[in-house]
Amino acid sequence: MNKARGFWDASALLPLCVQEATSAQAQSLLRKFPPVVWWSTSVEVHSAISRLTRLGKLSNKQQQGALARLSLLSEGWREILPDDQLRELAGDLLDKHPLQAADSLQLAAALTWCQQRPSKRNFVSGDQRLCEAARSLGFSIVQLSRISL
């Protein structure tokens, strides 16, 4: 039996790579909802890991482990690739929701994944604003505690 996939943004994937308060919750969700992600998600998570290292919150060894976990995760996820329609959809979302550009691309990718029929589709995120926009579009929200990228 196939598990129901969920669309995961970078804020929900980061706790799978580095130890955070929400890591156990994220691990549990990963078992329930195999990830679908936006094309640049691995870069966003890599950026967050590098920032944590620069801030001294991760050692170089911890950074290497986190990047190895990210690489392993990426082998099992489904990735939504960019195209002109997705870019236009992201622009429309910016007009309707108080989102950053990267978040509008995440949400447009989620809508592309479900062919713009988000009912009963899971959206996994730790970003409150992104969750609110996804909820208003009809996604079932699975929200981690607030995570700052």
pLDDT, one tens digit for every residue, the chain (149 residues): 457 999 999 999 999 999 999 999 999 999 999 999 999 999 999 999 999 999 999 999 999 999 999 999 999 999 999 999 999 999 999 999 999 999 999 999 999 999 999 999 999 999 999 999 999 999 999 999 754 44
Residues in the chain: 149
Question: b vs e for 119-146, b when ≥16 Cβ sit within 10 Å of the residue's Cβ?
Answer: eebbbbbbbeebbebbeebebeebbbee
Domain locations in the chain? 6-143
Please give the class, per CATH, of domain 6-143. Answer: alpha beta
Closest CA to 147 of 31, 33, 52: 52
- In this prediction the pTM is 0.92
Burial tier of 54 (Cβ tally within 10 Å: 0-12, 13-18, 19+): exposed
